[in-house]
């Protein structure tokens, strides 16, 4: 199983890391990226770990950070469609599915 990120999800991931790096410190930005990577690897091993949301879409919250990985499981791929902040514009990513 492999992981792929939609371009929007990649942008959200980078924006989140930059935010933590500039508003707090570089280490927190790196911790955000590490937590995302840990979560993505966990989803590769256990694709149905996240909570079902609608249809084939699942959500998996990051530890320590108010972000959720929104993804779908395809044949041999975890497709991450959003790295969504839990308080900003809920469900804005729905059109990406």
Cα–Cα distance measured from residue 11 to residue 72, given in angstroms and rounded to the nearest whole number? 18
Answer yes or no: is 92 within a domain: no
Cα–Cα distance measured from residue 71 to residue 66, given in angstroms and rounded to the nearest whole number? 16
List the CATH number of the domain containing 60. 3.30.2310.20
pLDDT recorded at residue 95: 75
pLDDT recorded at residue 88: 80
pLDDT recorded at residue 89: 81
Q: 7 lies in which domain range? A: 2-87
Question: Does residue 51 carry a pLDDT above 80?
Answer: yes
Answer yes or no: is 97 within a domain: no
Quote the number of domains for the chain.
1
Question: Does residue 54 carry a pLDDT above 90?
Answer: no
pLDDT digits (tens, 9 = 90+) for 11-47: 999 999 999 999 999 999 999 999 999 999 999 999 9
DSSP state of 50: S
CA dihedral 82, 7, 31, 84 (to 10 degrees): -20
Answer yes or no: is 37 within a domain: yes
Question: Does residue 4 carry a pLDDT above 90?
Answer: yes
Q: How far is CA 26 from the centre of its chain?
A: 20
Answer yes or no: is 94 within a domain: no
């Amino acid at each position: 199983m492999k992981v792929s990120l939609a371009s929007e999800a990649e942008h959200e991931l980078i924006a989140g890391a930059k935010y933590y790096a500039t508003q707090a410190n570089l280490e927190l930005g790196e911790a955000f990226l590490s937590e995302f990577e840990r979560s993505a690897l966990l989803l590769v091993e256990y694709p149905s770990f996240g909570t079902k949301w609608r249809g084939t879409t699942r959500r998996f919250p990051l530890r320590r950070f108010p972000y959720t990985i929104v993804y779908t499981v395809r044949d041999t791929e975890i497709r991450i469609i959003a790295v969504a902040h839990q308080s900003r514009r809920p469900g804005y990513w729905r059109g990406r599915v």
